[in-house]
Amino acid sequence: MFFVQTNDDLDLIERFQNGETSAFGEIVLKYQDKIYNLCRHMLGNAHDAEDAAQDVFLKAYQALPKFRPDASLYTWLYRIATNTCIDYKRKPIFESLFGDSGEGERLVHDLASDAPSPEKLYQSKQIGQALQVCLGKLSPKLRAIIVLKEVEELSYEEIAETLDISMGTVKSRIARARDDLQKCMKKNQGTKSGFVRLNREETE
């Protein structure tokens, strides 16, 4: 599970807290790709994601001496990364969700049939463009919820732990984000096609 502390992580934390600073380099190597990918999805481009990821590990380095393994190191790093990206104001648009690869691509593909006709491909492209605009209009907190749920595929419990908020707050923010996205998509597309995965997912 996402929030389970591993023995390797416990060893790295203990070594670092005992003065072996090289252990932090091992933490960076272990988690840098995951943190970078999260930042990329939240900030929208590689340059900002790299800057934000560096900020995340700097903050982690400064805070790790006082870290207590009540939560997993992974969850703790995700929390720092999410909060860093929420505060990162450079370019709050999710361009990376619509690249040639990556998990976010399915958010576009789920909106149209799998039939490879030119009409369907054009429709998928148009929906993707509208979705990009609508995601950019969400508040940072609502964007964070959508990225953690739909891209990182975290459970409600994992999101609550990562953002340090209640389950009720997680569900209400997800519901609000989905509602805002659907309204924006209807306005931009003039259709009720909506978000297949976002609207039909269970809320229990």
Compute the average pLDDT of residues 159-188: 88
Residues 127 and 40 in one domain: no
Compute the average pLDDT of residues 9-24: 93
Q: Does the residue 141 lie in any domain?
A: yes
Residues 114 and 193 in one domain: yes
Q: Does the residue 57 lie in any domain?
A: yes
Residues 82 and 18 in one domain: yes
Q: Does the residue 2 lie in any domain?
A: no
User: Higher model confidence: residue 30 or residue 191?
Assistant: 30
Q: Does the residue 137 lie in any domain?
A: yes
Contact 63, 92 (CB under 8 A): no
Q: Which of 57, 87, 117 is the last residue of a domain?
A: 87
pLDDT digits (tens, 9 = 90+) for 162-176: 888 999 999 999 999
d(CA 14, CA 45): 35
Residues 79 and 126 in one domain: no
How many residues does the structure list for the chain? 204
Residues 42 and 106 in one domain: no
Q: Does the residue 92 lie in any domain?
A: no
Residues 11 and 64 in one domain: yes
- CATH code of the domain in which 168 resides: 1.10.10.10
Q: Which of 42, 67, 87 is the last residue of a domain?
A: 87
Band (pLDDT 50/70/90 cuts) for residue 106 is very low
User: Higher model confidence: residue 59 or residue 2?
Assistant: 59
Q: Would you call 20 helix, strand, or coil by DSSP?
A: coil
Q: Which of 87, 106, 122 is the last residue of a domain?
A: 87
The domain total for the chain is 2
Residues 82 and 107 in one domain: no
Q: Would you call 99 helix, strand, or coil by DSSP?
A: coil
Residues 139 and 116 in one domain: yes
pLDDT digits (tens, 9 = 90+) for 32-82: 999 998 888 888 778 888 999 999 999 999 999 999 877 789 889 999 999
Say what the pTM is. 0.65
| Per-residue buried b or exposed e for 176-191, using 16+ beta carbons within 10 Å of the residue's own CB | ebbebbbebbeeebee
Band (pLDDT 50/70/90 cuts) for residue 202 is very low
- CATH code of the domain in which 30 resides: 1.10.1740.10
Domain that holds residue 74: 7-87
